[in-house]
Chain A
């Protein structure tokens, strides 16, 4: 089955530590995205990549970093500079830009808790 795999499902870290969230897709999609979901707020875009070795900042990129060395993989690093990292992180992919004509396919998320 084609899809997006995010790992781990739950992640706990101490404040001051960097942590990397994994996202792998086998849908052969060009574009990949990282969103953050907090209670009472819409999904907020962190980073996106439309092609290998290229990525753009989203609305809330501060304190995060990404790489896109392979089409299938788009890992997200939450650095110690991110002031409020505890959240539910969602990875998505699409054939093209994120509209209904090229819908987003989401993974099942990683819940990160930093204490």
Chain B
């Protein structure tokens, strides 16, 4: 079993829809949770960061951590074609540890 599981997709939704992307993990000691966005043939870029549990909102994006279920989510409201990318979740034990990555979910927003 992988430490971090992420459905590879592709997930295809119409423009304007609410998108929900998810990762599950097995190590209950993870404390830092991140979402990176990767456009085709580019490097990933940090989208959202959450420490421990709870929600964090930034514009159209909301990151949610449920440590009791070992589950993290990224919600995108009013999705745009420019949101079409691969979304990678990543997490770590503490600030001195390296990140463990999900495989990424490919998202396609249809105009």
Q: Is the CB of B49 within 8 A of A101?
A: yes
A42 near B92: Cβ-Cβ < 8 Å: no
Interface 0/1 of A61-92, CB less than 8 Å to B: 00000000000000000000000000000101
Residues in chain B near residue A96, CB distance under 8 A = 95
**Chain A nearest Cβ from B109, distance in angstroms:** 21
Nearest CB in chain A to that of B49: its residue: A100
User: Which residue on B lies nearest to A56, using beta carbons?
Assistant: B98
B103 touches A102 (CB 8 A): no
Number of interface residues of A (CB under 8 A): 25
Binds A, one of B13-21, B40-48, B73-81: B40-48
- B101 part of interface (Cβ distance < 8 Å): yes
Complex alpha-carbon distance, A59 and B8, angstroms: 22
Q: Is A41 in contact with chain B by the CB < 8 A criterion?
A: yes
Residue ranges of A at the interface with B (Cβ–Cβ < 8 Å): 4, 40-45, 48, 58, 90, 92, 96-104, 106-109, 111
Closest 8 CB pairs of A and B: A100-B49, A106-B43, A42-B101, A103-B46, A43-B101, A99-B32, A100-B34, A98-B99
25 CB contacts below 8 A, A to B, read A40-B103, A42-B88, A42-B90, A42-B103, A43-B90, A44-B101, A92-B43, A97-B92, A97-B97, A99-B32, A99-B49, A99-B99, A100-B34, A100-B46, A100-B50, A101-B32, A101-B51, A102-B95, A103-B49, A104-B44, A104-B46, A104-B99, A106-B44, A108-B43, A109-B42
Residues of chain B touching chain A, judged by Cβ–Cβ distance below 8 Å, are 2, 4, 6, 8, 32-34, 36, 41-46, 49-51, 88, 90, 92, 94-104
